[in-house]
């Protein structure tokens, strides 16, 4: 059994140490591992190289497709764990793509990392099996709103939103492209009893100028609703690049 990972610019697995750029752990030193493949297709996705391969007709605003062989690498769970351990960090962020598509393999990997705190970034559509769930300290759940281009029946599953709302390890991070998107967040929060203190609004954007402009109108909306705002620190520090 192997794990399918994204590649960095060298063609090796995208496993690296940095600071967390988003959400409740922003600024914390962490190890990252980025997995390949996703069950959704966001038109603004900034990691399209994890899923928008040649022959995939799902829309993306860049219209760029990627060669699968050059952008995927498979490694055994124990090998991935050893590479993560070598980074010397006590916190791990598993991101993608959609990591929970490989839940069983991740559970096996984490069995080799018993002392590491684990965050999983997920779109919230897949229920993690118990073998993995018991090894996770935090879920960063990012349900995809209408502007993502995903059909609601695929991206916003009521039973899964209820599941995450009742999990105190889960925080909700919504990508916001325009002020009207917040009304959709409000409706989801009401429907699924998501407390405001667990909701983060994050501007969509892959450059500092866009993020700063959107944050100007996003701050008042956070104040009105009691939501938190998430910046994207890695964009300001490193730009829209792999392995950062």
If one counts every other C-beta atom within 10 angstroms of the C-beta of residue 43, the result is: 14
Q: What is the pLDDT of residues 36-91, one digit of tens each?
A: 999 999 999 999 999 999 999 999 999 999 999 999 999 999 999 999 999 999 99
Report pLDDT for 75: 98
Q: Which of 225, 234, 214 is nearest to 182 (CA)?
A: 225
Q: What is the pLDDT of residues 80-123, one digit of tens each?
A: 999 999 999 999 999 999 999 999 999 999 999 999 999 999 99
Query: 136 — phi, psi (to 5°)?
Result: -110, 130
Domains present along the chain, CATH in parentheses? 3-171 (3.20.20)
Report pLDDT for 156: 98
Characterize the bridge pairing of strands 15-19 and 29-34.
antiparallel
């Amino acid at each position: 059994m192997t794990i399918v990972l994204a590649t960095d610019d060298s063609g090796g697995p995208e496993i690296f140490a940095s600071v967390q750029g988003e959400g409740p752990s922003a600024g914390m030193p962490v190890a990252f591992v980025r997995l390949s493949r996703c069950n959704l297709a966001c038109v603004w996705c900034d990691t399209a190289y994890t899923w928008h391969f040649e022959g995939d007709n799902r829309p993306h605003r860049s219209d760029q497709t990627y060669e699968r062989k050059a952008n995927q690498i498979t490694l055994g769970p124990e090998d991935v764990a050893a590479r993560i351990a070598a980074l010397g960090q006590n916190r791990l962020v598993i991101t993608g793509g959609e990591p929970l598509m490989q839940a069983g393999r991740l559970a096996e990997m984490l069995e080799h990392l018993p002392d590491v705190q684990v965050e999983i970034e997920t779109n919230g559509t897949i229920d993690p099996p118990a073998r993995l769930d018991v090894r996770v300290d935090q879920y960063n759940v990012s349900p995809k709103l209408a502007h993502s281009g995903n059909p609601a029946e695929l991206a916003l599953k009521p039973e899964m939103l209820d599941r995450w709302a009742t999990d105190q390890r889960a925080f909700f991070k919504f990508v916001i492209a325009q002020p009207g998107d917040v009304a959709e967040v409000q409706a989801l929060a009401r429907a699924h009893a998501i407390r405001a203190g667990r909701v983060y609004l994050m501007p969509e954007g892959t450059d500092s100028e866009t993020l700063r402009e959107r944050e100007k109108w996003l701050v008042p909306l956070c104040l009105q609703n009691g939501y938190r705002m998430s910046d994207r620190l890695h964009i300001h520090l490193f730009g829209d690049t792999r392995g950062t």
